[in-house]
Structure 1
Amino acid sequence: MPITIDDISRQLGLSVSTVSKALNDYEDVSPRTKERVRVAAAALGYHPSAAARNLRRQRTEKLGFSYGFPTTYIGEFASRLINGAVAAAEQEGYNLTLYPLSGQRMHQLVRIARSREVDGILLMGGSEWEEAVDLLRQEGMPFVLLNRRSEDPAISFVTSDHLAAGDLVTQHLLDRGHRRIGFVTRPELSTGIDRIAGYRQALERAGLPFDPALVTGAPITPGAAHTAAAQLLALPDPPTALIGLTDPVAIACLQAAQAAGRRVPEDVAVAGSDDIREALAAIPPLTTLHPPLAEIGRLATAALLAQVNHPEQPPVRLQLPVTLVVRQST
């Protein structure tokens, strides 16, 4: 049986991701660790990507959709992405299989890639996506990122234009007369980074300074978002408008404002993103950004199939525009 990066990982007590990065000479791995990994690889007789190079490709006519968000969230957001991907896959005679992505299941992703259960993988969400990218590259498995961009020019992705989205919703609030606008986001995610960049861009265009006290990071859960919004509203000079990175976050912001005795939108305006059903059912109905999720799923699947069939083609890197749905919360 050929030696794998799993074997090296176990022998050295390092994560699979660290071993993969060391073998690929990533800058964020120390020279000492790289040397340890290379010595162990040579001693064990490991040959990088030997399986991927030597395995005779047999088309399975299956694609994987690997996701890193809670299963309960599929019906609210990802179902539109998945539906677009399924339609595009079926049109080409392919089936789509869902694979949850988490730290405990990362080895399952390695097994799927190595055994070639699928011809390619659509990869979405989760804090483990960078580790997943390393593993898929190591195994020579075609993949495309969904709803997330990458700075790596070799990686294909299809996503919303999150910078333009942040600018759009901020400009809407500026047009409503707001000058103190709070943002409850995830600043460590590429989505959050781009939304904040768009937010700052709109403020700068209006001649307003960026106040870091108005931007707060919170997990994408209603409880954490409610706490973050309450903290913003308790500032000595509180915001008169709040933006949530997602609709559930924005709805929690709306509820926090109401719990603090603020009227929405008279005292505090609130806007979100994703245009899920709960946004329309909120009291008052939530202004939100509408991303073209089905189209993202469709185009990502087309890009993945192109990569499977023509691996020599350049990466596909698409950012699609969003639209603003104005409702009573602003």
Structure 2
Amino acid sequence: MKTHSIKDVARIAKVSTATVSRVINNSNLVDSWTRDRVLKVIKKLDYHPNLVARSLIRGKSNLLTLIVPPEPNFFSAFYFRQILCGISHSLSKYPYRMMIYQPEGYDPKLGYPPHLDGFPMDGIFVIAPLLEDRLVKHLEKEKTPVVLINARSHVLDWIDLDNVSSAREVVLALSKMGHTRIGFINGLEGYNANARLEGYKLGLEKSGLSYDPQLVTNGDYSLEKGFTAAKKLLSHSRKPTVIFAANDLMAIGAIRAAHELGFSVPRELSIFGFDDSDAATLSQPQLSTVRQPFFEMGERATDFLVSRVENLKLPQKTIELPGQLVFRQSSKEKGKN
């Protein structure tokens, strides 16, 4: 079968190639009569240079867009790579392709990224939007199918870790190991941080322990902030016997701080992380942590989004996945050699 070019479309439609290009790109510089004529020729020739042309002709692009936070190091984050692998694995079952979009110079408090206006896509994944990100509120009003990953909505489909239960189970386990002074390094303000703090408090309550605000501090999920936050916690007269960090990097930073201050981990101070990233088994000692099912999140999110694309009338789908506690060398029973 002959493959037609943009010149063939222009010749049969009796317009210039520039006009065909403008039609394909949905330019407002082409009048409706000319646009219709060009689209009819494109359809007749089955000319499909890219996803944009297909979407204009058929009303469907077979393109899903993954919107990620505008953070410089996000693409190197362990959990993003795992979620992406899960999406890619599940996407192979469907006739869809994916574009990854990271807004540049975009203030999430302002709403929808302007570069996506009018862009042909059938559905959108949004990973870990901030609490104040108006993008989610904008998407809740749109008809485009959306699935949130590591976030929640009263309207949109979402898939997330049960952060509250996961953090609660860590505190309960540490309490059963004899720890009564449980320090907590939380992350940046956001849904996950709020949920993990809630779980931390619930774990204390269920263990019969009092909440002490001096045992709680915040970081930004970086190793450096974990280091400084741990030093702050260990400067108190009544020091924690264990530090629970809201991600693995901060936990590893806490291990470094403990070593610098002369604490033996885990003999004098236990450390517990969250994520079970690659770094957890590379740290010295190896890190006890919460394993998140990132790969499964990506798989399930893809199934959610494809089913939503194919049937907008489906009821809202939501799922909380459980975390799994993984005990390694960085934690032990209090007082046990």
1:99 aligns with 2:106: no
- Matches of 2:128 and 2:236 in 1, distance apart? 32
Contact 1:159 1:296 in 2 (8 A): yes
Equivalent position SS for 2:90? helix
What pairs up with 1:57-72 in 2 under 5 angstroms? 58-68=59-69, 69-71=71-73
Q: Which residue of structure 2 aligns with residue 257 of structure 1?
A: 258
Post-superposition shift, 1:294?
0.9
Equivalent position SS for 2:320? strand
**Cα gap change, 1:307 to 1:116, in 2 (>3 Å):** farther
- Matches of 2:184 and 2:57 in 1, distance apart? 50
**Cα gap change, 1:90 to 1:262, in 2 (>3 Å):** same
> Quick one: which of 89, 102, 110 aligns to 1:87?
89
1:192 aligns with 2:193: yes
**Cα gap change, 1:102 to 1:317, in 2 (>3 Å):** farther
Post-superposition shift, 1:190?
1.0
Specify every segment of 5 or more residues in structure 1 that has no aligned partner in the other structure, as ranges: 1-54
Q: Which residue of structure 2 aligns with residue 3 of structure 1?
A: none
Compare 136-145 and 74-83 and name the one that shifted more: 136-145
- Matches of 1:131 and 1:103 in 2, distance apart? 15
Determine what percentage of the aligned residue pairs are the same residue.
29
Q: Which residue of structure 2 aligns with residue 147 of structure 1?
A: 150
Q: Which has the larger radius of gyration?
A: 2
- Matches of 2:306 and 2:95 in 1, distance apart? 11
Q: Which residue of structure 1 aligns with residue 115 of structure 2?
A: 111
Equivalent position SS for 2:101? strand
- Matches of 1:73 and 1:272 in 2, distance apart? 21
- Matches of 1:71 and 1:101 in 2, distance apart? 13
- Matches of 2:97 and 2:259 in 1, distance apart? 46
- Matches of 1:191 and 1:75 in 2, distance apart? 16
Q: Which residue of structure 1 aligns with residue 279 of structure 2?
A: 278
What pairs up with 1:203-222 in 2 under 5 angstroms? 203-222=204-223
**Cα gap change, 1:58 to 1:274, in 2 (>3 Å):** same
Q: Give the CA RMSD over aligned residues.
A: 2.2
**Cα gap change, 1:70 to 1:324, in 2 (>3 Å):** farther
1:73-96 CA distance string (max 9 Å, x none)? 535221110111112222111112
- Matches of 1:294 and 1:247 in 2, distance apart? 17
Contact 1:102 1:126 in 2 (8 A): no
1:122-150 CA distance string (max 9 Å, x none)? 10125377221133345432211102234
Equivalent position SS for 2:185? strand
- Matches of 2:150 and 2:217 in 1, distance apart? 22
- Matches of 2:125 and 2:279 in 1, distance apart? 27
Equivalent position SS for 2:133? helix
Equivalent position SS for 2:263? coil
Q: Could you tell me the TM-score, scaled by structure 1's length?
A: 0.77
Letter in 2 for 1:109: P
Contact 2:129 2:136 in 1 (8 A): no
Letter in 2 for 1:90: S
Specify every segment of 5 or more residues in structure 2 that has no aligned partner in the other structure, as ranges: 1-55, 332-337
Equivalent position SS for 1:237? coil
**Cα gap change, 1:179 to 1:128, in 2 (>3 Å):** closer
1:144-192 CA distance string (max 9 Å, x none)? 1102234xx2122101110111012112211221100111112621111
1:132 aligns with 2:118: no
Contact 2:112 2:135 in 1 (8 A): no
Equivalent position SS for 1:115? coil
Number of residue pairs matched? 273
- Matches of 1:220 and 1:102 in 2, distance apart? 21
**Cα gap change, 1:137 to 1:126, in 2 (>3 Å):** closer
Q: Which residue of structure 1 aligns with residue 9 of structure 2?
A: none
Equivalent position SS for 1:65? strand
